[in-house]
Copies of this chain bind each other. A is one copy, B any other.
Amino acid sequence: MRAKRESLKILINAIRENKVDDDIIDLLFLINSINGVYTTSSCSGRIGVIEEPKIGAKPLSRWLLKEHRPVTFEEVKESLKNAQSGIIFLKVQPPIFHVVAESMEIAKKLHEIGLSSGFKYTTFKALNKGRTLVEINGTEYLTVPLGRDGKTLISDEYLEFSVNLGNRMLERSKSRLPRLEENFKKLKEVLGEDELFYEIMED
């Protein structure tokens, strides 16, 4: 239970510092209020423009725009003015939840919930002693190169087409969140409330 206590404190601090996506705070609270279950890093799904100095060099990449809602053509266009070096991408990433289960039996339930809520990339990411990390993940990924070293190689027409496509993919992936929430409510009925959660929330 120490791990859950630590994770909850990290979550609450992150919320205080506005580092948690608004549209999934309630869902994260719901998941963490369930006995034997807690979340680690999660994201409500996003679209944005990123600059990557090298393929796969994630730590060195830089977001020029990052939103958890559909973006406008103008926002994207404006963000491109700040491009400097590396390959510029328009990226869409679906919601992703990292949920730890304190038993394999619970982990299997989380896995089922992910899949039956439409998150088709739901997997068991790590199996440790007495704990299993389930990744609930969608399939709506888009990675569109736009140019390099501050210079774009695309027309406005193409950019608008790609931004519209990306927005639709983001909305599609987020449209599954209410079903996910419903399924976690049902799980809570089965597994019960965790007193630890309410104890920490009251502090």
Taking the closest CB of chain B, its distance from the CB of A76, in whole angstroms, is: 14
A160 to chain B, nearest CB (A): 9
| A125 → chain B closest CB, angstroms | 5
CA distance A142 to B111 in the complex (A): 26
One digit per residue, 1 when the CB lies within 8 angstroms of any chain B CB and 0 when it does not, for chain A 9-34 equals: 00000000000000000000000000
- Given A145-B165, A169-B55: A108 in contact with B127 (beta carbons within 8 A): yes
The secondary-structure label for the interface of chain A is: mixed
Residue A196 is within 8 A (CB to CB) of chain B in the complex: no
Tell me the smallest distance from the CB of A200 to a CB of chain B, in Å. Answer: 30
A98 to chain B, nearest CB (A): 12
Q: How near does chain B come to A22, taking the closest CB pair, in angstroms?
A: 25
Verify if A143 is at the interface (C-beta below 8 Å from B).
yes
Task: Given A55-B169, A127-B124, verify A141-B140 contact (CB < 8 Å).
Answer: no
A148 an interface residue at 8 Å Cβ cutoff?
Answer: yes
A3 on the interface (CB 8 Å rule)?
no
- Known contacts A56-B172, A108-B127, A127-B104; A158 and B153 CB within 8 A of each other: yes
User: Does A157 reach chain B (CB closer than 8 Å)?
Assistant: yes
**Is A139 an interface residue when CB atoms closer than 8 A count as contact?**
yes
Asked if A141 and B144 sit within 8 Å, CB to CB, the answer is no
**Is A56 touching B139 in the complex (CB atoms < 8 A)?**
yes
**Smallest beta-carbon distance A122→chain B, Å:** 9
Tell me, rounded to whole Å, the shortest Cβ–Cβ distance linking A89 to chain B: 9
Contact of A124 among B123, B140, B142, B145 (CB under 8 A): B123
A87, CB-defined interface residue at 8 Å: yes
Sampled A-B contacts (18; CB under 8 Å) = A56-B140, A87-B165, A104-B127, A107-B127, A123-B124, A124-B124, A124-B127, A141-B143, A142-B145, A143-B143, A143-B144, A144-B145, A145-B162, A148-B161, A153-B157, A154-B154, A154-B158, A158-B158
